[in-house]
């Protein structure tokens, strides 16, 4: 039969179709994440945290103590100062020690480094959609409600879209920043945020212990005069 060679060729494909298949990798729907790359962005985050404090403990008329982070980094040092400034600016009594019935504001940072992440081609309009920059979702909504603000942000986003050619370099580094308001053993407020950062800025967020230098053993040779 003239169809016999064709049937022989198709037989392996038919057998393969019956074999078990592993799941095909897929990705999540497109989403957006802010990128921190300036101390101003730390201040925006501090302002948002204090806003949450106002909503939860502002009516309790209690002082706030901002706890020091477990490790000393540029971010931890700067963020604590910014939190204290924002709290005072918003009318809170800020204590320098956990005294009386003061609630404690705590925060911690986890740095994550990925590998094998290169350029991706974003869909047109990405920068336009991200025109709010580092603004967290609540602040972005408020910001865009100001007359003229949304138009200005949109224009800046369109310019970025054209200039970038829609190509985006994904950083390999992200940070998870957790902030909490604690009253004794009880969480009154707990919020977490995930942000991209420039790869070279990881030292601002992650403490790296100095390398231990092994002791050098020097053999001293005595010299005598005959």
**pLDDT of 6-39, one tens digit each?**
555 555 555 555 566 788 877 778 788 888 989 9
Q: Are residues 102 and 193 in the same domain?
A: yes
Domain shared by 73 and 153, yes or no: no
pLDDT band of residue 97 (cuts 50, 70, 90) is very high
- Mark whether 175 and 76 lie in a shared domain: yes
**pLDDT of 16:** 53
Do 59 and 123 reside in the same domain of the chain? no
The pLDDT, as a whole number, for residue 67 is 96
What's the pTM value of the predicted model, to 2 decimals? 0.65
- Single out the residue of 196, 183, 185, 179 nearest to residue 51, CA to CA: 179
pLDDT above 60: residue 134? no
In a domain, 77, yes or no: yes
For residue 13, being part of any structural domain is answered with no
Q: Are residues 148 and 102 in the same domain?
A: no
Pick the residue with more confidence: 189 or 155? 189
Whether 40 and 74 map to the same domain: the answer is: yes
Give the tokens for residue 52. Answer: 């949450």
83 and 37 inside one domain: yes
| 196 shares a domain with 89 | yes
The reply to whether 110 and 126 lie within a common domain is: no
Are 130 and 157 within 8 A, CB to CB?
yes
Is the domain of 48 the same as that of 139?
Answer: no
- Which residues 6+ apart lie within 8 Å of 105 measured at CB? 49, 53, 64, 65, 66, 67, 83, 87, 179, 180, 181, 182
User: Which residues form the domain of 189?
Assistant: 33-118+171-206
Residues 94 and 126 reside in one and the same domain:
no
Domain count, the chain: 2
CA-to-CA dists, residue 197 to 30, 45, 138, angstroms: 19, 14, 21
Scored b (16 or more CB within 10 A) or e, 23-38 reads: eeeeeeeeeeebbbee
């Amino acid at each position: 039969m003239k169809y016999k060679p064709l049937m022989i060729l198709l037989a392996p494909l038919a057998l393969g179709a019956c074999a078990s298949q592993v799941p095909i990798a897929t990705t999540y729907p497109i989403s957006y994440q802010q990128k921190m790359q300036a101390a101003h962005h730390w201040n925006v985050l501090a302002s948002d945290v204090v806003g949450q404090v106002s909503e939860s403990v502002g009516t309790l008329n209690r002082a706030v103590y901002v706890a020091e982070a477990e490790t000393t980094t540029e971010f931890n040092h700067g963020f604590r100062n910014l939190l204290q400034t924002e709290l005072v600016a918003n009318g809170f009594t800020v204590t320098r020690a956990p005294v009386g019935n003061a609630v404690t504001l705590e925060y911690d940072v986890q740095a994550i480094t990925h590998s094998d992440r290169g350029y991706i081609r974003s869909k047109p309009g990405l920068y336009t959609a991200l025109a709010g920059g580092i603004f967290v979702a609540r602040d972005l909504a408020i910001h865009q409600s100001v007359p003229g603000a949304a138009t200005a942000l949109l224009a800046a986003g369109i310019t970025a879209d054209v200039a970038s050619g829609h190509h985006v370099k994904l950083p390999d580094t992200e940070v998870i920043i957790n902030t909490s308001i604690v009253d004794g053993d009880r969480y009154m407020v707990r919020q977490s945020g995930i942000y991209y950062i420039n790869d070279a800025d990881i030292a601002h967020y992650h403490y790296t212990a100095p390398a231990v230098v092994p002791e050098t053993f020097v053999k001293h040779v005595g010299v005598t005069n005959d």
